[in-house]
């Protein structure tokens, strides 16, 4: 799992040749801290077919505004430069993998 910014979001996410799971997060967000180990684990397990990145909405507000992110954590999957799946809130790993199954 790596961090992206407003400056490199297009290159790292929108131009990626694979699906990218983006976590819109913030330092002050408790549920985001809960979700961090889940996303790290998914990033390792699914590294052959999915990239997992995080973007801090306080430090990178342009991207959050562009995609209408109002609550943290917001998770989005991007494919071919477009968001194809979105959820708000932390969830257990098993449930997140079930929800992602049809999109990745």
Determine whether 32 is an active site residue: yes
Catalytic residue (choose from 22, 29, 52, 76): 29
Q: Is 65 helix (H, G, I), strand (E, B) or coil?
A: helix
Determine whether 38 is an active site residue: no
With 0-12 / 13-18 / 19 or more C-beta atoms within 10 angstroms meaning exposed / middle / buried, residue 6 is middle
Catalytic residue (choose from 13, 20, 22, 32): 32
Q: What is the dihedral of CA 5, 79, 100, 64, to 10 degrees?
A: 30
Active site residues: 29, 32
């Amino acid at each position: 799992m790596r961090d992206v910014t407003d400056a490199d979001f297009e290159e790292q996410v929108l131009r990626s040749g694979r699906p990218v799971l983006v976590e819109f997060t913030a330092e002050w967000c408790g549920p985001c801290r809960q979700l961090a180990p889940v996303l790290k684990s998914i990033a390792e397990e699914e590294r052959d077919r999915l990239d997992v990145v995080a973007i801090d909405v306080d430090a990178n507000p342009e991207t959050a505004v562009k995609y209408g992110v109002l609550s943290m954590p917001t998770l989005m999957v991007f494919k071919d430069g477009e968001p194809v799946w979105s959820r708000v809130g932390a969830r257990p790993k098993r449930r997140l993998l079930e929800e992602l199954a049809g999109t990745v």
